């Protein structure tokens, strides 16, 4: 009994025959392979595929609802030039379970590019007492932890505003894509609070 379903890929029925025509059989297999290829999901922007014998899993990345969707940053950096001076502005974000507010968050702060923009925590007796956004020349190294017998500071890079070609065509690179966790770890043999991204 012939199937009443439409054969949109024109493979035709697969039937047992006494003397099968090898050429027709190969053509049907080729059309079937083309049909399978047309139905396959291909990797693309904003999602990944994992194929296995049990099926295919599609994992959609956060903030990737459409091609070219903007990445979400809790500590979103904005840069502007005002009166020939550069300023940065960082929107709200969350730092661990500490209730200390970043004192210059959501306000315009002057800086000199190219710069590394970072968050610094002042530490007293392994407790954060103050949080502030600061900048350092892009070429200078940034120590994540400062300890003088006891820890005095912890830092995490929020972003870079740098000059890739030396022509003052500055570009902004955001570094922190999540809220910030504060973990107690060992640093050079001392207990220290380390600011890190959620994973």
133-144 residue pLDDT tens: 999 998 888 999
Domain identity same for 53 and 147: no
Q: Report how many domains make up the chain.
A: 2
Residue-level pLDDT at 33:
79
Domain identity same for 89 and 185: yes
Domain identity same for 38 and 88: no
Q: Which residues on adjacent β-strands are paired with residue 183?
A: 194
Beta-carbon count within 10 A of 167 CB: 7
142-177 residue pLDDT tens: 999 999 889 999 999 999 999 988 888 899 999 888
4-51 residue pLDDT tens: 556 666 667 777 778 878 888 888 888 877 877 777 776 666 677 777
Classify residue 51: in a domain, yes or no: yes
Classify residue 86: in a domain, yes or no: yes
Classify residue 183: in a domain, yes or no: yes
Residue-level pLDDT at 148:
85
Domain identity same for 94 and 55: no
Per-residue CA distances from 12 to 17, 24, 33, 79, 103 (Å): 14, 10, 13, 62, 72
Tell which residue, 116, 122, 121, 120, has the closest CA to residue 135. Answer: 116
Residue-level pLDDT at 62:
59
Provide the domain limits for residue 111. 77-197
Domain identity same for 165 and 90: yes
Mean pLDDT to the nearest integer, 111-135: 94
Q: Per the confidence metrics, is the pTM higher than 0.85? A: no
pLDDT at 68 over 80: no
Residue-level pLDDT at 199:
60
Mean pLDDT to the nearest integer, 65-89: 79
Mean pLDDT to the nearest integer, 46-58: 70
Confidence of residue 1 (pLDDT cuts 50, 70, 90): very low
Classify residue 164: in a domain, yes or no: yes
Classify residue 147: in a domain, yes or no: yes
Evaluate whether 73 touches 177 at the Cβ level (below 8 Å): yes
């Amino acid at each position: 009994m012939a199937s009443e379903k439409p054969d949109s890929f024109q493979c035709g029925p697969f039937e047992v025959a006494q003397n099968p025509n090898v050429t027709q059989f190969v053509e049907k297999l080729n059309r079937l392979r083309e049909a399978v290829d047309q139905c396959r999901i291909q990797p693309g922007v904003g999602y990944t595929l994992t194929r296995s014998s049990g099926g295919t899993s599609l994992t959609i990345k956060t903030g990737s609802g459409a091609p070219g969707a903007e990445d979400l940053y809790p500590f979103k950096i904005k840069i502007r030039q005002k009166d020939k001076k550069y300023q940065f502005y960082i929107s709200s974000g969350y730092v661990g379970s500490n209730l200390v507010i970043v004192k210059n968050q959501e306000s315009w702060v002057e800086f000199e590019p190219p710069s590394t923009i970072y968050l610094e925590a002042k530490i007293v007796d392994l407790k954060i007492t103050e949080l502030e956004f600061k900048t350092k020349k892009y070429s200078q190294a940034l120590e994540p932890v400062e300890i003088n017998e006891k820890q005095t500071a912890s830092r995490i890079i929020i972003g870079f505003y740098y000059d890739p070609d030396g022509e003052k065509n500055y570009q902004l690179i955001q570094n922190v894509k999540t809220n910030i966790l504060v973990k107690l770890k060992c640093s050079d043999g001392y207990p220290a609070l380390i600011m890190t991204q959620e994973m």
